[in-house]
Amino acid sequence: MGVTREGVEATLTSKLQPTYLEVIDTSGGCGASFAVAIVSSAFEGKRLLERHRIVNTALAEEMKSIHALSISKALTPKQWNDQQPAEEQKAPAAEVQEHPATAVV
């Protein structure tokens, strides 16, 4: 049995008590690679590299089976809150709009 997204979530939740956590299996479900975005007070006062180490350490057991781990966000709750209004105001890069069907004659 390989590593699962649920397992990674459970481990990070247990060890880091995140206020926000997103785990994506980027290997199509086979548990070989994951992308993580996490917000936790455990990162207070920690530099970027240290935060990534904290996540890596928390997932030490899972890392034995994981081929690749990408940590896209490792933020403190304050940093996360500060980012939210700015990101919400940013216009989406692309907008998809459906139009009525058009017949071809």
Partner 1 sequence: MDMASAMASSRSVLALARSTPSPSASASSTSGVAVAAAAPSLRAVRFSSAAAFGSGTSWTIKRPVLRGATMHRVRDVVSCSLKKLAEVELTDLTNNPSPSFPAAPGIYAVYDKAGDLQYIGLSRRVSASLQSHMRELPELCASAKFAVVDAPERAALTDAWKSWMEEHINQGGNVPPGNVSGNTTWTARKARAAKPEIKLTPGAHVKLNVPIETLIDKVVKDLKVVAFIKGTRTSPQCGFSHRVLTILNEQGVDYEVLNVLDEDHNPGLREVIKKYSQWPTIPQLYVKGEFVGGADVLDEMVQSGEIKDLFKN
Contacts to partner 1 by CB under 8 A: 48-49, 52-53, 56, 60, 63, 68-72, 91, 93-105
Tokens 């917000």 correspond to what residue? 39
Q: By C-beta, is 1 or 105 nearer to partner 1? A: 105
Buried b (16+ CB within 10 A) or exposed e, 10-31: ebbeebbebeebebebeeeeeb
**Least CB distance to partner 1 at residue 64 (A):** 9
Q: Report the largest interatomic distance among the alpha carbons of the chain, rounded to a whole angstrom.
A: 66
**Six token digits for residue 8:** 């990674």
Q: By C-beta, is 42 or 51 nearer to partner 1? A: 51
**Least CB distance to partner 1 at residue 36 (A):** 9
Q: By C-beta, is 6 or 61 nearer to partner 1? A: 61
Residue 42 gets which letter from DSSP? Answer: G
